[in-house]
Amino acid sequence: MWSGLRPLVSDPSHESAGGTQNVVRNHLINVSPSGLLTISGGKWTTYRRMAADTVDEAVKSFNLPSKCRAAVSDRVPLLGSANWDRTVPCRLVQQSKGNITNDIAQHLSSSYGDRSHLVLSLAEKQPELYERVHPKYPYLKAEISYAAQYELSRSAIDFIARRTRLAFLDSKAARESIDSVIELMGKVQGWSSSRKSQERSHAVEWLDKNTTIAPSTTTKDPVPTNSEDATIWGGVINKK
């Protein structure tokens, strides 16, 4: 399972209330006496509503022209959604001429939407990019090149931990994938041998600090369960 902490916001207009009465469970917009408009709290899944509410409050509080309202935000398609439909995975397999399997096609479709065709186009130019980052998972090496060229990914650990989440799904597989990720990302960004060495040291250090490989189930040593700040998921203990 995954676990974490969500910070909650205290409403400054109800500071006199005791206990949790002044704690806001969603986002809070406040305009201070000096005229500073602040939005705090909220979460990633409501960012559009947060943005629209913030602009609406600015229009109201500062008497801005009504044309400034963010009324169209709920109709602007997310990146990758414009030409997506349920046939995308099938079309990806056809585009690759059989070089990817169904699980890879499903992963690309759900992760990149209609931009998954762009990911595959990189592999069409360099067939070695059809290979998996790790044999156990559906991530393609083409995704490394895509992340570096189109998503401003600038480090190996950024790709392993944030673009694919492999570091948290399987830290052992993440360690085994470091070299290939560095080699491909370095090729796109023109890294020197010293930069590649630095990247590897940083990636290993980050994984050692943030994740721990659980002992094999074939050994006599049990998986540690007495750590209050660890989450066991898929055989991996992820330190918080």
Q: Tens digit of pLDDT for each residue in 41-52?
A: 888 888 888 988
- Spans in the chain with pLDDT lower than 50: 216-240
- Tell me the C-alpha distance between 103 and 83, whole Å: 21
- Tell me the C-alpha distance between 100 and 165, whole Å: 21
Nearest partner of 210 among 231, 235, 180, judged by Cα: 231
Query: Is 93 within 8 Å of 116 (Cβ atoms)?
Result: no
What pLDDT is recorded for position 212?
76
What pLDDT is recorded for position 221?
40
What pLDDT is recorded for position 234?
37
In sequence order, the β-bridge partners of residue 230 are: 239
What pLDDT is recorded for position 240?
38
Cα–chain-centroid distance for residue 195?
A: 24
What pLDDT is recorded for position 215?
52
For residue 76, give the DSSP letter.
Answer: S
What pLDDT is recorded for position 67?
73
What pLDDT is recorded for position 23?
77
- 89-112: per-residue pLDDT in tens? 999 999 999 999 999 999 999 999
Q: Residue 168 phi/psi, 5° resolution?
A: -95, -30
What pLDDT is recorded for position 219?
40
- Tell me the C-alpha distance between 39 and 7, whole Å: 14
Specify the long-range contacts of residues 29-33, CB closer than 8 Å, at least 24 apart: 29/53, 29/54, 29/57, 31/57, 31/61
Distance in angstroms between the alpha carbons of the first and the last residue of the chain: 13
Q: Residue 132 phi/psi, 5° resolution?
A: -80, 150
